[in-house]
Amino acid sequence: MKQGLEDQVSLYKNKLLEQQDTIYKLESKLSMLSKFQAENKNSKTTLITADIIGYDTSNFRKSITINAGSKHGVKQDDIVISNNALVGRVTMVSKGSSVIQLITDPASRIPGRVVQTREQVLLEGNATAFCQLKYVPRWAKLKKGDDVVSSEIGGVYPPSLPIATVVETEMKGGALFQSVKVLPKVNIANIESVLVVTH
C-alpha cells in the first residue's frame, strides 16, 4: 500500500517536472517572439519557432539542425535569431528539418557595422566561440564593449540586428587592418529554441 502510494507520488512529481520544463520552453519561445515583434512592428516577415535537435559532428564546422523545414515554410537563406540577436543562416532545407550555418562557422561571412564608430566591417567565424572582424581600418577607434550589428549590404541579412560585442582589438605592425575579436551575443550552448525569420 505504502509502496504503491510512494510510486504514485514519484510519478506525479516527474509529471510536474515535465510540465514545468514544457512551460519554461513555451514561455521562452513566447518571449522571443514578443521581443522580435515589438521591435519589428512594420516588417513584412513571418516568424517560425523551432527547437534545436542536433549539432555538427566536426570540430571545425559550426552548424545546428532544427525541427522546422520546408513544410513549415522555412527557405534557404532565411535568417535565424534568438533573443533578438543573429544566430545564423539556413543553408539546407529538408521537409521536416533544416541545417543552420552558425555565425561562428569558418564559412560564415556577415556584413556588419560597428554601432559606436559606424565602421563597415565583415564578420567571419573561425570555429571557436569567438568571431573576428575583417577589414577594420587601422584608424578606426574600436574599443572593448562596442556592439556590432548587421548591415543590409548584400541583401541577405536585415539591418541593425545585434550580432556581437568587441572583446579585443590588436594592431599588428605592418598589417593593413586591425585584428578585432568579437563575442557573439548568442551563446549557442545555452539556447534550445530559435526563431526563423522568413521573408
Partner 1 sequence: MRWFTFFCIIVCISLTQTTLIHWINIGQAVPDLYFPLIVFYSFLTDMKRNTIANWFAGLSKDLFSDGYFGINAVFFVAIGLLLWSIRGILYRGHVVTQVTTTFIFSFMYNILYALHTTASFHSLRFFSTLWIIFICSLYTALIVPVLFWIFSKFQPTQKLYPHYE
| Selected binder of partner 1 within 67, 70, 126, 198 (CB under 8 A) | 126
Residue whose C-alpha cell reads 533544416 in the numeric block? 98
Residue with grid cell 559606424, as numbered in its chain: 118
Q: What is the grid cell recorded at 119?
A: 565602421
Q: Is 62 near partner 1 (CB under 8 A)?
A: yes
Please, which of residues 158-187 interact with partner 1 by CB under 8 A? none
Q: Which of 57, 170, 173, 176 binds partner 1 (CB under 8 A)?
A: 57
Of 9-17, 30-38, 55-63, 158-166, the segment contacting partner 1 by CB under 8 A is: 55-63
| Amino acid in the structure at residue 67 | N
E strands, the chain, are: 46-55, 63-66, 79-82, 85-93, 98-102, 109-114, 120-125, 131-137, 147-150, 162-170, 177-184, 193-198
> Distance from CA of residue 113 to its chain's centroid?
17
Segment contacting partner 1 by CB under 8 A, of 31-39, 66-74, 118-126, 143-151: 118-126
Q: Is 70 a binder of partner 1 (CB under 8 A)?
A: no
Stretch that binds partner 1, among 74-82, 127-135, 144-152, 154-162 (CB under 8 A): 127-135
Tell which positions 77-106 bind partner 1, by CB under 8 A.
91, 99, 101, 105-106
Contact 183/71 with Cβ under 8 angstroms? no
b vs e for 64-74, b when ≥16 Cβ sit within 10 Å of the residue's Cβ? bbbebbeebeb
Note whether 132 binds partner 1 by CB under 8 A: yes
Minimum separation from the CB atom of position 102 to partner 1 (A): 9
Alpha carbon distance 159, 113 (integer Å): 9
Query: Total binding residues for partner 1 by CB under 8 A?
Result: 28
In the complex with partner 1, which residue's Cβ is closer, 131 or 149? 131
Please report, as ranges, the residues that interact with partner 1 according to CB under 8 A: 53-63, 65, 91, 99, 101, 105-107, 109, 124-129, 132, 134, 189
